[in-house]
Amino acid sequence: MKQHILVVSQYFYPENFRINDICKEWVKRGYKVTVLTGIPNYPQGSFYKGYSWFRGRRETYEGMDIIRIPLIPRGHNALMLMLNYVSFVISGWFWKTFTGLKADRVFICEVSPMTQALPGVWYAKHRRIPCSIYVQDLWPENVEIVTGLHNKHILGAIDKMVDGIYRRCDKIYATSPSFVMRLEERESVYTDGESRVKYWPQYAEEFYRPAEKEELPDLPLEDNRFQVIFTGNIGYAQGLDILPKAARILKDRGRECCFLLVGDGRYREKLEEEIRTEQVEDMFRLLGRKPAEDVPKYLAYGDAAFISFTDNELFQMTIPAKLQSYLACGMPILAAAGGETARILQEAGCGICSELGEPQALADAIVRFMELPADDRNEMRTAAVDYSTKHFSKKTLMDRMDEELQR
């Protein structure tokens, strides 16, 4: 019989994160999976319908058991977000102390905050079982860059916490080569001089495949403008303020273009304000959140799929999860990015990359896309799928993890 894996992730179904699919795949491969998570509230900041401190706390989903510990919803300001992070840790400590659950190993899925790893390492130490962590956000770098916090005492305390977590993990998996290099600068990731860090990129779920364009209730088929589509979280980190400015430039140049945004997040209200300020409302369709399984249908409307992020070192080291989705769906990709994203687009030959935070450069890149012959765009679509198959195959990556778990 295969192992019983305790997965610790503050975010889980019905919140849309890749760990959901990883757990489903483990169940299919014969593992027993229990997930320790919070009450779903991402990204809107309030509890999902049907969930509360007293409802939906235990659940069975796709063959796995879900345990939801109490937390404060993330709300819409920094104080609520901090309380959200802290409350998960406090609840996790009580759960670790009193639970009778007997797992064989712990797998921590770490997107921000890193603090969510603490219940996992505590439980693993208490049970004396192996503990692995999947690092998708670097701390304290994320705290310093995203929040602008530069207090050396606070950052120093976070750094010590992070080192303590890494020391208690027998395997550390990172989502990009740049993350591997940064992690290996830490003494805490070495045992007897050997690094415990391994590159294990994210993959796109199997439903991310090229789709035929079909009529959808909120999108007209007859719109013949050049369509740029963005899917995912509309947050401050995505650097989407570049879009209304680029749209204004295109409008002044008489270029017909439409921006489709599929998703929601903390930045949406501000983005809508910027769209009105630039007087380009007719060039945007904000379609809200959609089920992940429907995203390929919306991508089929796009002539190019858009990726951007704010200009900082951390995001340039990241491979955005939506990049794998776009590649698997065979999308030509338009990016205002650098670092890992720019590297992959260049290697794959499936898109055009403009400078970070430069609306004029983005507008020029869109015009270049508009003027590409249809054959060139089709070649980009083929190149995207080929690169996805070669580098981000779900089967290959899950087989590799299977070998890791069986050691």
249-299: pLDDT as tens digits: 999 999 999 999 999 988 999 999 999 999 999 999 999 999 989 999 999
Same domain, 182 and 230: no
Q: Is residue 216 part of a domain?
A: no
> Is 355 in the same domain as 272?
yes
Q: What percent of the chain has pLDDT over 90?
A: 84
Range 12-25 average pLDDT:
95
Is there a single domain that holds both residue 180 and residue 250?
no
Burial (Cβ within 10 Å: 0-12, 13-18, ≥19) of residue 397: middle
Q: How far apart are CA 64 and CA 304, in angstroms?
A: 37
Backbone φ, ψ for residue 297 (5° rounding):
-65, -40
Contact 318, 340 (CB under 8 A): yes
Average pLDDT rounded to a whole number, residues 71-96: 94
Q: Answer yes or no: are the C-beta atoms of 350 and 387 closer than 8 Å.
A: yes
State the chain's mean pLDDT as an integer.
Answer: 94
Residue 187 CB burial class (10 angstroms; 0-12, 13-18, ≥19):
exposed
Q: Is residue 383 located within the same domain as residue 402?
A: no
Which pLDDT belongs to residue 306? 98
Of 29-43, 186-200, 205-219, 389-403, minimum mean pLDDT range: 205-219
Burial (0-12, 13-18, 19+ Cβ within 10 Å), 26: buried
Range of the domain at 164: 4-203+393-406
Secondary element (H or E) of residue 315: helix 313-316
The b-or-e profile of 293-331 (16+ CB within 10 A means b, else e) is: eebbbbbbbbbbbbbbbbebebbbbbbbbbbbbbbbbbb
Q: Which residue has the higher pLDDT, 174 or 43?
A: 174
Q: Is residue 219 within 8 Å of 294, Cβ to Cβ?
A: no
Task: Tell me, yes or no, whether 333 and 199 share the same domain.
Answer: no
Q: What is the CATH number of the domain that holds 331?
A: 3.40.50.2000
| In a domain? residue 213 | no
The reply to whether 218 falls in a domain is no
Can you tell me the distance from the alpha carbon of 245 to that of 363, in angstroms, rounded to the nearest whole number? 9
pLDDT confidence of 100, banded at 50, 70, 90?
very high
Q: Is residue 212 part of a domain?
A: no
Position 93 in a domain: yes
Residues 329, 301 within the same domain: yes
pLDDT for res 1: 64
In a domain, 195, yes or no: yes
Mean pLDDT for the stretch of residues 184-213: 95
- How far apart (Å, rounded) are the C-alpha atoms in residues 362 and 307? 11
Residues 27 and 115 in one domain: yes
Q: Which residues pair with 262 in a beta bridge?
A: 231, 288
172 and 272 share one domain: no
**One domain for residues 382 and 251:** yes
Helix residue spans in 317-358 (DSSP H): 321-328, 339-348
Are 35 and 78 within one domain? Answer: yes
Please determine, for residue 46, whether its predicted confidence score (pLDDT) is greater than 80: yes
- Please check the confidence at residue 40 and state whether its pLDDT lies above 90: yes
> What sign does the dihedral 300-304-305-306 (CA atoms) show?
negative
Report if residue 342 sits inside a domain.
yes
Q: Does the structure show a pLDDT above 90 at 80?
A: yes
Q: Give yes or no: residues 171 and 51 share one domain.
A: yes
The whole-number average pLDDT for the span 99-109 is 97
Report which of residues 218 and 354 the model is more confident about.
354
Mind listing the pLDDT tens digit for each residue in 346-369?
A: 999 999 999 988 999 999 999 999
147 plus 240 within the same structural domain: no
Name residues whose C-beta falls within 8 Å of residue 406's C-beta, 6 or more positions apart in sequence: none
Average pLDDT over residues 124-143: 94
Total structural domains in the chain?
A: 2
Region 304-324 average pLDDT: 91
The overall pTM is greater than 0.85:
yes
